[in-house]
Structure 1
Amino acid sequence: MQTAANPAIPVAVSGMTPAPRRILMVVDGRYPATGGAEMQARLLSAAFSREGHSVRVLVPHLEPERPRRETIDGVPVHRLAYPRIKGFGAILLNLRFAAYLLRHQHEFDAIHIHMMHNLAGAAGWLRPWIRPTLTVKVSGAAEFQGGILDPSLRHKLVHRLLNAGAKRADAFQCISRYTLEMMRGAGYPAAKLHHVPNAVDCARFARRGETAGTLRVVFVGRHVAVKALDVLLRAWATVRRPAGAQLVLAGDGPERARLMTLAETLGLADSVEFPGLVHDVPALLATAAAYVQPSHQEGLPNAVLEAMAAGLPVAATRISGHEDIIVEGDTGLLVPPGDPAALAGALQRLLDDAALREHLGQRGAAYVATHFAIPVVLARLLELYARPHSPVRPA
């Protein structure tokens, strides 16, 4: 039988207890926030702290209502102030970030930057003068479409400078096979590329059996074009739904109003819910019979991993990210992207077959617990942080 296991991801954690590390987590954006990179940085920071490591989070000061310093989940957060002036502000932020690293470098053993963006490039240029190891996480679409890794923008001076700096990092955390392949194509050294996925707090998504009652199919995420929720609505309109069956599109975004109008137009007002942002995702998933992710593109979707951890069967598109975690008929169902008929067929199978839902849910939960649980990912990251490196010498 085909399995979703990837040899680059260990299935067990070594019994050796690593020495406590002093870790600086850098998030190139708002913090805390609901974005995948920000939520993953928060999850890892708290988990490392609970394991006895010393962790600090460093972010730009993007929200005036937030203090320059605070503690979140028991982890200190420092925010760098800078003028919000397009172009000039980014330069000053990079300079302040560089000064911070040079001034505080002896307080850390490892620096982990959670997006391949401006701060990753700035840190790379500093690599000859800083002692901690430097790891950069590469998530996916945001970096390769409009970001510093966008192939169509490589000729631009700023992108060339940022990439040249970033290549000096010691290791790159590629969360999916797609990001690994794209980094190779961008000329990054293969020896520095490591397939280490996002982590899932499996304890928050306790395995539960399906409860009797209304069948609910759930999606959680931003309402943006790349999530293809219009395709999902068109698929749902053709599904032979049991009485009372509901499609729940949790989240918000620029597409939400258009999607609500489309649902009305398709005659789905009574069978589609738009609850907005949901803060207790485990509670929402506990009400569901299945999860659906119709995206055109993903990095490694936390929402799908969480749904699988909760024991839900998943119908998703056959794209990178989904293919990293779902095997057709074993840990979920895969369909071509942008195909309402195929997606409707997968949803129909899940609604009609309780035994299939139970099988996929059990297999998916076991797979996530084995490969994406916090202890597994922490162990892999500690390996990256401790990797010997040959510091880049200044020219």
Structure 2
Amino acid sequence: MQVMTRILHVLDHSLPMQSGYTFRTRAVLKAQAAMGYEVRGVTGLRHTAEGPVAEEADGLLFHRTAGAASGPAGLREWREIAIFAKGIEKVVREWRPDVIHAHSPALCGQAALRVARRHDIPLVYEIRAFWEDAAVGNGTGSEGSLKYRLTRKLESHVVSRADAVVTICEGLKADLVGRGTAPERITVMPNGVDLTLFGEPASRDPELARSLGFEVGGAPCPVIGFIGSFYDYEGIDVLIEAMAHLAQRRSDARLLLVGGGPCEAALRAQAAASPAAEAIRFVGRVPHHEVERYYALADIMAYPRKRSRLTDLVTPLKPLEAMAQGKLVAASDVGGHRELVTHGRTGTLFTPDDPLACANALAGLLEDRAHWPAYRKAGRDHVESRHDWAVNAARYQDVYQMLALLKPENRGTVAA
């Protein structure tokens, strides 16, 4: 049996750019390196940070693909795939990996598929989200459009040709099975947390708290926090509206919003017009190394995602980070959250798209202070037992070992 030791990860973008995508990539590659694998990454044209053609970031080596794709929609993406495939092939010829491990979107998968078949290398395709649904969620696409259908068709093509398929949650797996993919071909690799980065939670900074108005009469206020990107599907507008209801029961409660995104201006305007305007604080984007200072101010982290295909199918990372930080979690009752949060044990779930339900859930947690230690312990235990990268990454070993047993003639044909 061939021993798979060199893994080339094909990526949309990577560190030093910062996003949930790059942080998961970092965790995966670090965990695999700790298991004894040699790992590298190669990024496509959508990695827009300036840097050398081979760049080390946080101890990991990433190769960059140079070039630009132009033309009308559809043709432009096809040209982008061709350029990216050349970039992948360059690394393959120089480094000779044992496995090509491509990560969504499907543009990465299709480019990797061309090179994998040309060089007879096993291909793993890992789906973190269906990007056509993500485009709908962030307002750059519409469900059922031509682009939506073409993206979905391309993804299905890559899935059918890959030697192994990985998804981050059961919702995505179930959707692929519904499209005709055999369930035994799909491995679920849950979103996880690198617990080496979450030791003792940072201490509350009294000066920072006072500067934000999080004290009344010298006593700390209860703080609800949201740290992340301001997209419509995140439901931050629901949370802002909920604060007006919550203020009727807890006038001392405050809302901390950290981050930015396309909805920021509208959210700031909504907050300014709210009866609870004085209780809402926007701090904008903060450097990644300062995020823990803001986590430390919050008692409850709120995740009011709206119901959609995206939020029902995909599990987010942020609730797991909050549990690792020892925070209480209040989340909307959508499919992605239900895979992570057990109502009444590791957090509380409330009806999505309902500001009053959100307010009642937050008020219930604030009024149940006696059970906070139990919530915190259950959340941390859940992350340690089911979402620690040091443990979960071992599942990749099973996938790679299966590929080592796969005979060349059983792999797909060269993709167009």
TM-score bin (small chain): 0.7 to 0.9
2:24 — aligned with what?
Answer: 40
Instruction: Return the offset for 1:394.
Output: 5.0
1:176 — aligned with what?
Answer: 169
Distance across 2 between alignment mates of 1:108 and 1:127: 10
Does 2:266 align with 1:246? no
Q: Which has the higher helix share?
A: 2
Q: Where in structure 2 are there 5+ consecutive unaligned residues?
A: 205-218
Does 2:226 align with 1:219? yes
Distance 1:217-1:206 versus aligned 2 partners, 3 A rule: farther
Distance across 2 between alignment mates of 1:265 and 1:120: 45
Instruction: Return the offset for 1:295.
Output: 0.5
1:99 — aligned with what?
Answer: 86
2:278 — aligned with what?
Answer: 270
- Structure 1 residues 329-338 or 272-281, which shifts more? 272-281
Give secondary structure in 2 for the equivalent of 1:58.
strand
Give secondary structure in 2 for the equivalent of 1:173.
strand
User: Partner amino acid for 1:282?
Assistant: E
CA-to-partner distance for each residue in 1:19-49, whole Å, 9 max, x for gaps?
Answer: 7821212212464333322221122223333
Distance across 1 between alignment mates of 2:269 and 2:414: 58
Instruction: Return the offset for 1:104.
Output: 4.0
2:113 — aligned with what?
Answer: 124
Q: Which structure 1 residue ranges, 4+ long, deviate > 6 Å from structure 2?
A: 209-212
1:11 — aligned with what?
Answer: none
Instruction: Return the offset for 1:301.
Output: 1.0
Instruction: Return the offset for 1:274.
Output: 1.0
Q: Is the 8 A contact 1:22 1:55 kept in 2?
A: yes
The CA RMSD measured in Å over matched residues stands at 2.8
Q: 2:42 aligns with which of 53, 58, 79?
A: 58
Distance 1:30-1:71 versus aligned 2 partners, 3 A rule: closer
1:376 — aligned with what?
Answer: 391
User: Partner amino acid for 2:231?
Assistant: V
- Structure 1 residues 375-384 or 359-368, which shifts more? 375-384
Q: Percent identity?
A: 28
Distance 1:306-1:262 versus aligned 2 partners, 3 A rule: same
- Structure 1 residues 114-123 or 229-238, which shifts more? 114-123
Give secondary structure in 2 for the equivalent of 1:85.
coil
Q: Is the 8 A contact 1:32 1:39 kept in 2?
A: no
Distance 1:143-1:357 versus aligned 2 partners, 3 A rule: farther
Distance across 2 between alignment mates of 1:336 and 1:250: 23
Q: How many positions carry a matched residue from both structures?
A: 376
Instruction: Return the offset for 1:172.
Output: 1.9
Distance across 1 between alignment mates of 2:31 and 2:303: 27
CA-to-partner distance for each residue in 1:145-187, whole Å, 9 max, x for gaps?
Answer: 5599x77659956754553244211222211221111111233
Q: Where in structure 1 are there 5+ consecutive unaligned residues?
A: 1-18
Distance across 2 between alignment mates of 1:283 and 1:235: 25
Distance 1:125-1:159 versus aligned 2 partners, 3 A rule: farther
Q: 2:244 aligns with which of 228, 233, 237?
A: 237
- Structure 1 residues 158-167 or 308-317, which shifts more? 158-167
Does 2:400 align with 1:385? yes
Distance across 1 between alignment mates of 2:220 and 2:196: 25
Does 2:196 align with 1:203? yes
Distance across 2 between alignment mates of 1:267 and 1:174: 43
Does 2:148 align with 1:164? no
Instruction: Return the offset for 1:319.
Output: 0.9
